[in-house]
Amino acid sequence: SRTFPFPETTRIFTVANQKGGVGKTTTTVNLAAALAKHGATVLVIDLDPQGNASTALGIERRADTPSIYDVLIHDDDVAEVVAKSPEFETLWCLPSNINLAGAEIELVPMVAREQRLRTALDEYISKRAAEGDPIHYVFIDCPPSLGLLTINAFVAAREVLIPIQCEYYALEGLSQLLSNIQLIERHLNPALTVSTILLTMYDARTRLAFQVAEDVRTHFPTQTLATVIPRTVRISEAPSYGQTVITFDPGSTGSVSYLEAAGEIADRGAAHGH
C-alpha cells in the first residue's frame, strides 16, 4: 500500500452535522484508523455522551474511567486520560463518559467555557511534539446538537469535516450548520474552515443518491472528496465487535473506501501546506 504524507503540524478536525445518524461517528473512527494504519499518530476525541466512538475503537468505558468529562470539568491533563486503541499502536482515544451529558449544563457558569477543550488539547499537542512523538491528526466526534460541547469542538479545531448522507433531505439543515460555523469563525475561532465534505451511505443502485452527490459537488466543488463511502453491512457490523471496518474486514469495499478517503485527506493537507 502507498504511503501517506504526514502533516507538518497537527491537523485538528471537528466532524460535524446537526443531523443524527448521518455517519459522523463511523467516519471519525474509520478515517482515524485508516490514517493510523498508514503510520500516522491519530487522536480521536469522543465528545458525544453516547460514547459510540469510544466503543467502536474498543475502548472500555466504566462510570469511573477517566474521560473527556474530567478534562473539561476537572482540568485533568489529556495525557492522563487518553487510552490506546487495541487496533493500532498509534491510534489513541480520549473516551466519552455518561457524565458528559451533564457537562452541557456544568460548563455554562465556567470561565472561558468555549475554550476549555482547546486549551487542554493544545497543551497536550505541544507536550507530545516536545517529546518527539507528535500527533498528526485529531478527529473530534460531536453530538448532533449545537450546545457547548460542539462549540468547544469548533473552537479547538482548525478544520470541519461534514459527512453527508446521500438521501433526500441531505442538504436540509446544512445552511444552518454553515451559518453556525460562520458565527464561530467570526467570534471565537477565525482559523476555522470547512475543508472537507464526505459523501456517505451511498447506494449506487438509486438515482437519488447520484443526484444528491451531484448537488453537493455543485455547491462544494473544492471541499467534496472524490471518494464516496458506500452503504455496506460490514461498516455497520464492525462497531459491535469493538472494531473499525479497517481491521474488522480490511479488504471490504467499506474499508477500502475509507482508506482512499483518508489518502485524499492526507494528500490535500500536504498540498495546502498543513
Binding footprint of ligand ADP on the chain (CB under 6 A):
20-26, 52, 200-201, 229, 231-232, 235-236
CB 59 → Mg ion: shortest distance, Å? 15
- 271 with 85: CB under 8 angstroms? no
Q: Which CB sits closer to ligand ADP, 20 or 102? A: 20
HEC profile for the chain? Answer: CCCCCCCCCCEEEEECCCCCCCCHHHHHHHHHHHHHHCCCCEEEEECCCCCHHHHHCCCCCCCCCCCHHHHHHHCCCHHHHCEECCCCCCEEEECCCCCHHHHHHHCCCCCCCCCHHHHHHHHHHHHHHHCCCCCCEEEEECCCCCCHHHHHHHHHCCEEEEEEECCCCCCCCHHHHHHHHHHHHHHCCCCCEEEEEEEECECCCCHHHHHHHHHHHHHCCCCECCCCCECCHHHHHHHHHCCCHHHHCCCCHHHHHHHHHHHHHHHHHHHCCC
CB 34 → ligand ADP: shortest distance, Å? 14
Q: Which CB sits closer to Mg ion, 86 or 144? A: 144
Q: Which does 229 bind (CB under 5 to 8 A by kind): ligand ADP, Mg ion, none?
A: ligand ADP
CB 52 → ligand ADP: shortest distance, Å? 5
- 135 with 125: CB under 8 angstroms? yes
Restricting to residues 10-49, name those near Mg ion by CB under 5 A: 24-25
Q: Which does 232 bind (CB under 5 to 8 A by kind): Mg ion, ligand ADP, none?
A: ligand ADP
Q: Which does 231 bind (CB under 5 to 8 A by kind): Mg ion, ligand ADP, none?
A: ligand ADP
Q: Which CB sits closer to ligand ADP, 206 or 236? A: 236
Under the binding rule (CB under 5 A), the answer on residue 231 touching Mg ion is no
CB 240 → Mg ion: shortest distance, Å? 15
User: By CB under 5 A, how many residues form the interface with Mg ion?
Assistant: 3
CB 9 → Mg ion: shortest distance, Å? 27
Q: Which CB sits closer to ligand ADP, 239 or 263? A: 239
CB 154 → Mg ion: shortest distance, Å? 16
Q: Which CB sits closer to ligand ADP, 23 or 269? A: 23
Q: Which CB sits closer to ligand ADP, 10 or 255? A: 255
Positions in the binding site for Mg ion (CB under 5 A): 24-25, 52
